[in-house]
Amino acid sequence: MNQFLSQDYDLTAHNTFGLAAHSQFARTIVDEAEIPSLFALADQQGLPVRMLGEGSNVILSERFDGITALIATRGRELIVGDNGDLILDAQAGENWHALVAHTVGEGLWGLENLAGIPGTVGAAPVQNIGAYGVELSDRFVSLRAYDRVAGAFVELDGPACRFAYRHSLFKEHRGRYVVARVRLRLSRSAKPELSYRDLSALAAPDHPSVVMDRVLQLRAAKIPDWRGLGNAGSFFHNPVVPAAIGAAFMAAHPTAPAYAQADGAIKLSAGWLIEQAGLKGYRDGPVGVSAQHALVLVNHGGASCTDVLGLAEHVVTTVHDRFGIRLQREPELL
Ligand SMILES: Cc1cc2nc3c(=O)[nH]c(=O)nc-3n(C[C@H](O)[C@H](O)[C@H](O)COP(=O)(O)OP(=O)(O)OC[C@H]3O[C@@H](n4cnc5c(N)ncnc54)[C@H](O)[C@@H]3O)c2cc1C
């Protein structure tokens, strides 16, 4: 077992928050064929298994008694689909942004709005990543995953993945599926998605790099770079409240951002709520609320999972006391 697994593995460099964290055992997966044997070993030893990509959407606990599977499979392929569409087939351990930049460099449209999102390809369907008016599900064809319950690899299409806003089947059955490869639909003809207000000024871009460059500019201005100041991006979901609550909220706060949803519910801005509650730039020891973007919690250095959870609770309580709205956390506690 010692040859197959690394022991007492330090994960501090494996999470963008930079939280101090150790795993009892770790295994770097470089070939999907290793996944079934890893679960067989774990079952034999009675150890839990958790998956980790680049650790950009997790709050790692200080100690995990089990096996952390570090997904590092590499490879990508462009296939011409039945109707002439281009299908990109990428392995789970590929870096998401590198993949986007590669397709944009080839002049292919489809992923440019999703540039700059940290993490791996395999984790992208888990929370149905989204930004600047596009979600992964908009470009999704299918994926291959190892189903721990079936004990076999399965192919899942969009409906089977149950995608919704920052949600998928994989959040409903945590730990059951290991995403091994993802297929996405791209296009050689210009299909810019510019509905997001900060992109509308681009008019008619003639290359996806125009959109990608603008997205990267906007992201750099908004979100602190985790390589300098540890963070997990947006820490809270934008709350979606029933129409009546939304109407009362908007009457009381006419300048607050509010977006009507198809079902009549209203989506509010978690960042605005935190800022108005007076917490932008707030600091509590090694952790704080970013002074750049109130939706981002940051590690000023040496923080642990306990510090982050304590700050998150303070933010949730303060916003609830002020507005009566309870924020929900986005990163998973692993
Ligand atoms: C600065 C910053 C900006 C961000 N901006 C955005 C944004 O604009 N939009 C957005 O949607 N998200 C954003 N995020 C969140 C994050 O980048 C995404 O959720 C990303 O997809 C996580 O990838 P990861 O490889 O780091 O996953 P991890 O954090 O390692 O894992 C996330 C979850 O996926 C599971 N998982 C990982 N790999 C697999 C696999 N192969 N199979 C099954 N489960 C797996 C893990 O167990 C965990 O539950 C941002 C994060 C940061 C730090």
Q: Give the model confidence (pLDDT) of 99-133 as tens digits.
A: 999 999 999 999 999 999 999 999 999 999 999 99
Task: State the number of CA atoms in the 13 A half-sphere of 131 facing the CB.
Answer: 22
The mean pLDDT of 198-222, rounded to a whole number, is 94
Q: Which two tokens stand for residue 228?
A: 């300098």
Q: Indicate the helix (H) or strand (E) that contains 259.
A: strand 258-260
What pLDDT is attached to residue 3? 61
Which tens digit of pLDDT belongs to each residue from 238-250? 999 999 999 999 9
Strands (E), 92-165: 130-131, 134-135, 140-147, 152-157
d(CA 37, CA 45): 12
State whether the Cα torsion 42-57-74-187 is positive or negative: positive
Clarify whether 137 is annotated catalytic.
no
Q: Can you tell me whether residue 90 is helix, strand or coil? A: strand
Are the C-beta atoms of 300 and 308 separated by less than 8 Å? no
DSSP letter (8 states) at residue 114: G
If one residue of 34, 35, 56 were mutated to test the ligand 1 pocket, choosing by the most ligand atoms within 8 A of its CB, it would be 56
For residue 152, the tally of other CB atoms under 10 A from its CB is 9
The mean pLDDT of 3-24, rounded to a whole number, is 94
The mean pLDDT of 198-219, rounded to a whole number, is 94
Q: Which two tokens stand for residue 23?
A: 């795993």
Q: Indicate the helix (H) or strand (E) that contains 103.
A: helix 96-105
What pLDDT is attached to residue 85? 79
Show the domains of the chain with their CATH numbers.
6-71 (3.30.43.10), 76-221 (3.30.465.10), 224-333 (3.90.78.10)
Q: 185 pairs with which residues across the strands?
A: 87
Question: Which residue is catalytic, options 34, 193, 275, 330?
Answer: 330
Strand 63-71 and strand 49-52: the pairing is parallel
Q: Which two tokens stand for residue 162?
A: 């149950």
What pLDDT is attached to residue 197? 86
Whether the predicted pLDDT of 1 surpasses 70: no
d(CA 314, CA 317): 5
d(CA 61, CA 303): 11
Question: Which residue is catalytic, options 139, 166, 181, 214?
Answer: 166
If one residue of 12, 19, 126, 299 were mutated to test the ligand 1 pocket, choosing by the most ligand atoms within 8 A of its CB, it would be 126
Report how far ligand 1's centroid is from the alpha carbon of 14 (Å).
12
Clarify whether 330 is annotated catalytic.
yes
